A and B are shown apart, each in its own frame.
Chain A
Amino acid sequence: MTVKLEQQVIPLNGDEAVALAVKQSDVDVVAAYPITPQTIIVEKFSEYVANGEVDTEFVCVESEHSALAASLTASLTGARAFTATASAGLALMHEMVYVTAGCRAPVVMAVTNRALSAPINIHCDHSDAMAERDSGWIQIWAENAQETYDSIIQAFRIAEHKDLLTPVMINLDGFFLSHTLENVKVLPDEEVKKFVRTREFPQVTDTEGKQVPFKLDPNNPLTLGPLDLPDYYFEHKRQQEEAMHVAPKIIKEVHDEYALLTGRSYGNAFVDAYRMEDAEIATVCLGSAAGTTKTVVDYLRSQGVKAGVLRIRTFRPTPVEDIIKCLEGVKAIAVMDRSNSVGADGGPLFHEIRHVLYGTRSHPPVVNYIYGLGGRDMPQKTIHSIYKDLYEIASTGKVKHFVQFAGVRD
């Protein structure tokens, strides 16, 4: 792929990459509240505002609940709106996370993934975002700061697409990505502005039968967020599901157009399959863990082991076909969960991957490792032992434990 575009390489951590992408994306309103490890995003953005580098209206709210409530109505008023949070902040937003999706407000939110209390812990795991997996947001998970930067820019185009109008959550691992310096290739401001475009509004029918833009507009008044009783609520909730069926086409279009512009792509936009072509054993994961796992896979391949790793980039909508295509022939699969669904016999990603594979002909054995809760490191050694287990399952066809904790003391 030839890319004519001049791209600067600058050292950024994941949070700074988010702030820069937001700055470049012609965002009208940012309403946010600081929480570790998302804080750098808010701090950096405040600096842009203080130095007159953006003409965004920055609302430094008194809580995350208000952060999303304000972003949501800013979005419904016609603004491009962004917010960012983590952990307890996302949990406090929970009510508004659903409301935002239900109101079809195309807010973009960065979630710097962090463990949920108690005990209080500021480090990375995925419990926060997993608690919102049924909320109706598109969820994209980044592997590194570069992907975080690129995904934020793509997110505005996806969320605001008039056939979709669905909020997008960009997840980046707390500290592992948010606070780790990386060389990031960044686009010139005007290129990002051109790419994200200005918001377009689909036409909807008002109560008098007139076609009006879908926003709060005094000349064309609409009643948004009304009381919806059993005679209509169900249809509206199904419409959200239908939007999720349109989403893959839009996510793909935006990803591919961006790839053409920058030379950067992330798998096929939905899954990032690493050395999966002829893999006999494979792990499935989200986020930054894929980086370490890829290194282990390279080593195993050099030893003649047919290992691979499948990173799920678009977690919502679930890329069912891609998961099946990549995993169907694999002899043993380990799903890596950086969160636990307590009492549910495994983590959320495990449940979903196994559910997707249930109907396939080969029906490969799928096991689950809960790892890295509260920021516990997952070194190569742990990943090696997981592949060793998989090798044994693939050779014997026998599974000793379906769900295990990896890297925890007894």
Chain B
Amino acid sequence: MVTIKELAEKPELFTSGHRACAGCGPAIALRYIMKALRGPTIVTEATGCMEVVSTIYPYTSWKVPWVHTAFETAAANASGIEAAVKALKRKNRLKYEHVDVIALAGDGGTYDIGIQALSGAAERGHDFLYVLYDNEGYMNTGIQRSGGTPYGASTTTSPAGTVIPGKTEYKKPIAEIMLAHEIPYVATASIGYWTDVITKVQKGLEAEGPAFLHLFAPCPRGWRSDTAKTVEIARLAVETCMFPLWEAVDGECNLSPQSKAIALKPDRKKPVADYLKMQRRFSHLFAPKFQHVVDEIQTDVDKRWDRLLKKCNVSSPAKTHD
């Protein structure tokens, strides 16, 4: 496991000067990811917040070769880069022993418009790491709902009205979908835990074949949360089991330490309301009229958590609080 001292000595490959908002979770995500590189790397990124804030011509925050082409193309672009590296290597036209390929995309570029290309690239078995930085909405275009937006969240295309309490659908289980592709590495991580993020990026790069990392990254602008609380919220998502941390190496699922600790001591599992209350995108749920939605979210989280425990072969002692 990497130490903070080692980390400090690593070069910043995603540099300051980018134009992300104060408290931006995805910007933290990128800095961690870039700290985990192990050698020559090419990064491709889908259209989205992080592409926009980091590459306004003629400036760039990237100290690695980086390419953006469109919104839905992160995985297809990675396929092309990986194929080129393989072919050039075979023909002795590449001076590197190995080149890692990383595809970055937000939730819109992954759950929605990019899922076809992602599924195709995973099926073809390209050797690359795909990192989904999930800020649960189309934040770049002004906070619209995506397939990754959680139930009950108010966005500009799923607004909390007088009749409808925000988004009426649950988050698509994207990591499970990728797990079903039977690729060598799938994991979830939260920017609240830097060692876990970096370890998982490293494992994803080391895996031979497609690796998928679902990285939870709060967006204060879209979530209407305090810019100073981004990391706290990212941890609360894990502590409430809204976003449990796990990884699957060759299909075998295991809880990561932070979630395992909760599984072993269920008293540590915090109520979802603690998490929801910190974000004004959920504030309407605390009006008496929509209070039932909070209960529904809790029920859903409990159900999914139980299912995950089974999948990870963890028998959790009975919890003492409700």
B-binding residues in A (CB < 8 A) = 28-29, 31, 55-57, 59-63, 65-66, 69-79, 81, 95-96, 99, 103, 198, 207, 216-229, 232
Q: How far is the CA of A227 from the CA of B121 in the complex (A)?
A: 25
Closest 8 CB pairs of A and B: A62-B120, A70-B80, A218-B40, A226-B55, A73-B80, A66-B76, A77-B84, A69-B76
Which B residues are CB-close (under 8 A) to A56?
Answer: 87
Q: Indicate whether A218 sits within 8 Å of B68 (C-beta atoms), given known contacts A57-B84, A69-B77, A71-B80.
A: no
19 A/B residue pairs, CB under 8 Å, sorted by A: A29-B87, A59-B83, A61-B120, A62-B116, A65-B72, A66-B75, A66-B79, A73-B76, A78-B84, A79-B88, A207-B60, A218-B41, A218-B96, A220-B65, A221-B62, A223-B66, A224-B66, A226-B55, A227-B52
- Nearest CB of chain A from residue B40's CB, rounded to whole Å: 4
A-binding residues in B (CB < 8 A) = 40-42, 44, 51-52, 55-60, 62-70, 72-73, 75-81, 83-88, 90-91, 93-96, 99, 116-117, 119-121, 123-124
Q: Indicate whether A207 sits within 8 Å of B87 (C-beta atoms), given known contacts A69-B70, A69-B73, A70-B76.
A: no
Q: How far is the CA of A96 from the CA of B73 in the complex (A)?
A: 9
**Chain A residue with Cβ nearest B96:** A218
Q: Indicate whether A74 sits within 8 Å of B83 (C-beta atoms), given known contacts A28-B88, A99-B70, A229-B56.
A: yes
Whether the pair A28, B123 counts as a contact (CB closer than 8 A) is: no
Whether the pair A73, B84 counts as a contact (CB closer than 8 A) is: yes
Whether the pair A216, B65 counts as a contact (CB closer than 8 A) is: yes
Whether the pair B58, A207 counts as a contact (CB closer than 8 A) is: yes
Q: How far is the CA of A65 from the CA of B247 in the complex (A)?
A: 31
Whether the pair A59, B80 counts as a contact (CB closer than 8 A) is: yes
- Nearest CB of chain A from residue B132's CB, rounded to whole Å: 18
Which A residues are CB-close (under 8 A) to B60?
Answer: 207, 223, 226
Q: Indicate whether A70 sits within 8 Å of B42 (C-beta atoms), given known contacts A29-B87, A96-B73.
A: no
Q: How far is the CA of A218 from the CA of B98 in the complex (A)?
A: 11
Most central of B62, B66, B69, B90 by chain A CB within 10 Å: B69
B68, B73, B76: which contacts A226 (Cβ < 8 A)? B68
Q: How far is the CA of A226 from the CA of B94 in the complex (A)?
A: 25
Q: How far is the CA of A218 from the CA of B102 in the complex (A)?
A: 13
Whether the pair B79, A31 counts as a contact (CB closer than 8 A) is: yes
Whether the pair A218, B99 counts as a contact (CB closer than 8 A) is: yes
Most central of B51, B65, B120 by chain A CB within 10 Å: B65
**Chain B residue with Cβ nearest A199:** B93
Which A residues are CB-close (under 8 A) to B69?
Answer: 69, 72-73, 96, 99, 103, 225
Q: How far is the CA of A59 from the CA of B63 in the complex (A)?
A: 28
Whether the pair B93, A224 counts as a contact (CB closer than 8 A) is: no
Q: Indicate whether A28 sits within 8 Å of B57 (C-beta atoms), given known contacts A62-B120, A78-B93, A222-B65.
A: no
Which A residues are CB-close (under 8 A) to B85?
Answer: 77
Q: How far is the CA of A224 from the CA of B72 in the complex (A)?
A: 17
Which A residues are CB-close (under 8 A) to B64?
Answer: 218, 221
Whether the pair A29, B67 counts as a contact (CB closer than 8 A) is: no
Q: How far is the CA of A63 from the CA of B70 in the complex (A)?
A: 15
- Nearest CB of chain A from residue B49's CB, rounded to whole Å: 11
Whether the pair B80, A72 counts as a contact (CB closer than 8 A) is: yes
Which B residues are CB-close (under 8 A) to A72?
Answer: 69, 77, 80
Which A residues are CB-close (under 8 A) to B124?
Answer: 59-61
Which A residues are CB-close (under 8 A) to B68?
Answer: 224-226
Q: Indicate whether A95 sits within 8 Å of B70 (C-beta atoms), given known contacts A56-B87, A227-B57.
A: yes
Q: How far is the CA of A99 from the CA of B44 in the complex (A)?
A: 14
Q: How far is the CA of A56 from the CA of B40 in the complex (A)?
A: 23
Q: How far is the CA of A74 from the CA of B56 in the complex (A)?
A: 23
Whether the pair B123, A62 counts as a contact (CB closer than 8 A) is: yes
- Nearest CB of chain B from residue A309's CB, rounded to whole Å: 40
- Nearest CB of chain B from residue A403's CB, rounded to whole Å: 37
Which B residues are CB-close (under 8 A) to A61?
Answer: 76, 79, 120, 124
Most central of B42, B60, B66, B87 by chain A CB within 10 Å: B87
Q: How far is the CA of A69 from the CA of B90 in the complex (A)?
A: 22
Q: Indicate whether A74 sits within 8 Å of B73 (C-beta atoms), given known contacts A65-B117, A223-B55, A226-B60.
A: no
Whether the pair A63, B120 counts as a contact (CB closer than 8 A) is: yes
Q: How far is the CA of A62 from the CA of B124 in the complex (A)?
A: 9
Q: How far is the CA of A410 from the CA of B203 in the complex (A)?
A: 68
Which A residues are CB-close (under 8 A) to B51?
Answer: 227
**Chain A residue with Cβ nearest B83:** A57
- Nearest CB of chain A from residue B52's CB, rounded to whole Å: 5
Q: How far is the CA of A10 from the CA of B75 in the complex (A)?
A: 40
Q: How far is the CA of A313 from the CA of B82 in the complex (A)?
A: 35
Given contacts A69-B70, A221-B62, 13 further A-B contacts (CB under 8 A): A57-B86, A59-B80, A62-B117, A69-B69, A72-B69, A73-B67, A77-B84, A78-B88, A99-B69, A217-B65, A222-B66, A224-B65, A225-B69
Q: How far is the CA of A150 from the CA of B58 in the complex (A)?
A: 40
- Nearest CB of chain A from residue B39's CB, rounded to whole Å: 8
**Chain A residue with Cβ nearest B56:** A227
Which B residues are CB-close (under 8 A) to A225?
Answer: 67-69
Q: How far is the CA of A204 from the CA of B209 in the complex (A)?
A: 33
Q: How far is the CA of A344 from the CA of B62 in the complex (A)?
A: 46
- Nearest CB of chain B from residue A107's CB, rounded to whole Å: 10
Whether the pair B76, A65 counts as a contact (CB closer than 8 A) is: yes
Which A residues are CB-close (under 8 A) to B94?
Answer: 78
- Nearest CB of chain A from residue B50's CB, rounded to whole Å: 11
Whether the pair A77, B55 counts as a contact (CB closer than 8 A) is: no
Whether the pair A66, B73 counts as a contact (CB closer than 8 A) is: yes
Q: How far is the CA of A273 from the CA of B96 in the complex (A)?
A: 50
Q: How far is the CA of A56 from the CA of B86 in the complex (A)?
A: 9
Q: How far is the CA of A311 from the CA of B56 in the complex (A)?
A: 44
B59, B65, B83, B99: which contacts A70 (Cβ < 8 A)? B83
Q: Indicate whether A55 sits within 8 Å of B87 (C-beta atoms), given known contacts A29-B80, A63-B116, A66-B76.
A: yes
